[in-house]
Amino acid sequence: MKRLRITVEGKTYDVTVEVLDGSGAAAPHALPPAAAHAVRPAAAHAGEAMSVVSQLAGTVVSIQATIGQAVAAGEQLLIVEAMKMNTAITAPRAGTVTAIAVEAGTVIEEGQVLVTLA
């Protein structure tokens, strides 16, 4: 496995890439698929503003965070419904909620800013 940082349309992502041999099978030194990490936005430096964006299109069902609230990494910020499934949007790092760009009932697009953390 190799860890790489890529930028797509101005968005930076940290990714883990599995190395394959010529036949498409995992190379002997590669970790099993269960050990692969999901694509996630690269973390901002502590104290810098960071936008939490939606990874899917859908409708905001509820918002658990409030402006000024201190949140821990992984803490649930809001719920998005897409294709009849609720998905929790969580804080990618610890910080303070400085802005909430949506409200319950808002139809959102993939890549749309939902919350800003400082």
Question: For the chain, which domains are there?
Answer: 1-42 (no CATH), 47-118 (2.40.50.100)
Residue-level pLDDT at 35 = 37
Q: pLDDT tens, position by position, for the chain (118 residues)?
A: 677 777 777 777 777 777 776 665 555 544 444 433 334 444 445 567 899 999 999 999 999 999 999 999 999 999 999 999 999 999 999 999 999 999 999 999 999 999 999 9
pTM strictly above 0.85: no
Angle made by CA atoms 72, 49, 15, in degrees to the nearest 5: 70
Angle made by CA atoms 109, 90, 72, in degrees to the nearest 5: 145
